[in-house]
Amino acid sequence: MSNDLQKPIIGFTTGDLNGIGIELIIKTLSDHRILDFCIPVVFASNKCLNFYRKSLPDFNITYANTRELNRLNPKQVNLVTCWEEEVAITPGQLTDTGGKYALISLQQATEALQKGLIHGLVTAPIHKKNIQSEAFDYTGHTPYFKAVFNVPDVVMLMVAENMRIGLVTEHVPVSEIARHITRENILGKLKIIHSSLQKDFGIDKPKIAVLGLNPHAGDEGLIGNEEETIIKPAIKEAKHNMLVFGPYSADAFFARGQYEKFDAVLAMYHDQGLIPFKSLALGEGTNYTAGIPAAVRTSPDHGTAFDIAGKGRADNSSFLSAVFTCAEIIRKRLGYAEMRQNPLKKISARMIANAVDERIEESEA
């Protein structure tokens, strides 16, 4: 099989047309080395790409127009034209148009993902207000993909070089967080994270830390009782099937670098997990939707950035990381499936790994 046929097909959505999404796509895909490890497919229109391309003279992106996803050019960026009409683009402005066409791009890319015509999807940032409609009644991409793929639950998993942080609750008002902290929700999220670490990240026996909800993890019930009545019982039950520890006091956990001892951390709510992630993560972060067996979806760890939209100042580092993470998870899943189909491969891999370890130990002795 040729290298081109082995490369994963990765789709890209525009995000809000007035945000930095298309700029990120142009900057990322203008580096032709991307074509060495994936076949990119952009769901947009010629006119939208050209609008932003004019303001980015230092980034040369060439692409092939296509209407048939089973006949892609593996040596070039592919563009699926999602609309033909003229669209008013006003960078930095929150408009109904920006949200309308962001949804069209997302819907067509998701349909291709569902049909298996693309292997993964990198979504550019949307604005949660102007994308709302009868077709999109969600607080973000994560619940949208949960609904579209009809899975019981998913996890917003933030991924970086030195940490992975999942959330029990995502975009929920602070006043409503506590009622979503249930034994069932915690167990469900832990099962998804555990499975994802094995299948998507290649970690055989992952270690997962769980944070408390209250300050000082409740101080044995003195500051709230959720740790004693909900979180600890959930952890105890989860221990029957996985390596899980906690609950930890969030402030000390991150301040003392305890997160470095675990393969993933389960935070109770959005800011509890994302503030330390964005402060301490090495490299650029990626937002990954864990829990969808039939699809891989990633995105950068930031929003539409209206304040710099159209000015050519957007940093595409996180977007590039989202592409790499998407491709790597696709590869890990294939490897996991192949290992399960032929147990001898796993035995051989272990024998080779053990032999390498022994040689290293001998050389160091």
Q: Per residue in 141-170, pLDDT tens?
A: 999 999 999 999 999 999 999 999 999 999
Q: How far apart (Å, rounded) are the C-alpha atoms in residues 319 and 122?
A: 8
| Cβ atoms of 119 and 9 closer than 8 Å | yes
CA–CA gap between residue 210 and residue 232 (Å, rounded): 9
- Helices marked H in 215-310: 226, 232-238, 250-255, 270-280
Domains 1-151+292-308 and 153-290 equal at CATH topology level: yes
Q: With respect to CATH, is domain 153-290 assigned 3.40.718.10?
A: yes
Rounded-to-integer distance, Cα 67 and Cα 42, Å: 11
Reference 197, options 188, 187, 185, 207; nearest CA is: 207
Helix (H) / strand (E) element for 22: namely helix 21-29
Rg (CA), the chain: 22
How many secondary structure helices (H) and strands (E) does the chain include?
A: 13, 12
* The CATH number of domain 1-151+292-308, selected from 3.40.50.2300, 3.30.565.10, 1.10.340.30, 3.40.718.10: 3.40.718.10
* Digit-coded pLDDT (tens) for 80-102: 999 999 999 999 999 999 999 99
Tokens of 228: 């004693």
143: burial class by Cβ within 10 Å (0-12, 13-18, 19+)?
middle
Q: What is the pLDDT of residue 6?
A: 79
CA 244 distance to own-chain centroid? 22
Tokens for 115, please give them.
């049909």
Output the tens digit of pLDDT for each of the chain's 365 residues.
Answer: 345 557 999 999 999 999 999 999 999 999 999 999 999 999 999 999 999 999 898 998 999 999 889 889 999 999 999 999 999 999 999 999 999 999 999 999 999 999 999 999 999 999 999 999 999 999 999 999 999 999 999 999 999 999 999 999 999 999 999 999 999 999 999 999 999 999 999 999 999 999 999 999 988 889 999 999 999 999 999 999 999 999 999 999 999 999 999 999 999 999 999 999 999 998 889 999 999 999 999 999 999 999 999 999 999 999 999 999 999 999 999 888 777 776 555 455 554 445 445 544 554 44
Say whether the peptide bond before residue 125 is cis (omega within 30 degrees of 0): no
Q: Where are the domains of the chain?
A: 1-151+292-308, 153-290
**Tokens representing 205?**
């026996």
Please tell me what DSSP assigns to residue 124: P
Q: What is the dihedral of CA 80, 293, 169, 275, to 10 degrees?
A: -70
Look at residue 183 and give its three-state secondary structure.
helix
